[in-house]
């Protein structure tokens, strides 16, 4: 059994942003040497998510509109959490909706995706350096 761990760091330039991190995760799979196993990818921040979906701009705009309807950023005073001096309660809620992590099978040394599937880092309180954990186990 092999085990591989790597942190991926990103400079997030917007408050909310979706980053396709599939190539970064694929590079980790290659570096791990695992041919058959599992790859966990999780956000290391409580205001961000990792999810799998299609890399299509219209869909990403739909996510943004849908999430903002469910947990609008403003007015900040609508959230008890923001009374502590924070302004990111909406980001915590958006993360809960989109999820913390994904697990993808590794088959024959490659991520075993369905059609159009890609891995995304979803940032909901950006404008600073953020990280994702990739943990791979297998043989």
What integer is the mean pLDDT of 123-132?
96
Which helix (H) or strand (E) segment is 43 a member of?
strand 37-43
Query: Which pLDDT score is estimated for 104?
Result: 98
| Burial class, 61, CB count within 10 angstroms (exposed 0-12 / middle 13-18 / buried 19+) | exposed
What integer is the mean pLDDT of 1-26?
97
Please tell me the distance from the alpha carbon of residue 78 to that of residue 65, in angstroms, as a whole number: 19
| Percent over 70 (pLDDT), the chain | 100
| Percent over 90 (pLDDT), the chain | 100
**Helices and strands in the chain: count of H runs, count of E runs:** 3, 8
Confidence of residue 124 (pLDDT cuts 50, 70, 90): very high
Residues found in the chain: 139
Which helix (H) or strand (E) segment is 69 a member of?
helix 57-70
Contacts of 75 (CB under 8 A, 6+ apart): none
The domain at 2-138 falls in which architecture? Sandwich (2.60)
Query: Which pLDDT score is estimated for 60?
Result: 97
């Amino acid at each position: 059994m092999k085990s591989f761990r790597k942190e991926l760091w990103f400079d997030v330039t917007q408050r909310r942003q979706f980053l396709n991190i599939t190539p970064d995760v694929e590079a980790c799979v290659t570096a791990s040497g695992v041919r058959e196993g599992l790859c966990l990818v999780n956000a290391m921040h409580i205001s961000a998510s990792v999810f799998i979906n299609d890399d299509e701009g219209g869909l990403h705009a739909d996510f943004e509109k849908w999430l903002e309807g469910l947990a609008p950023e403003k007015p900040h005073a609508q959230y008890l959490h923001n009374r502590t001096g924070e302004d990111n309660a909406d980001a915590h809620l958006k993360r809960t909706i989109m999820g913390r992590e994904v697990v993808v099978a590794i088959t024959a040394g490659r991520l075993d995706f369905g059609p159009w599937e890609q891995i995304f880092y979803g940032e909901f309180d950006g404008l600073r350096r953020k990280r994702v954990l990739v943990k791979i186990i297998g043989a």
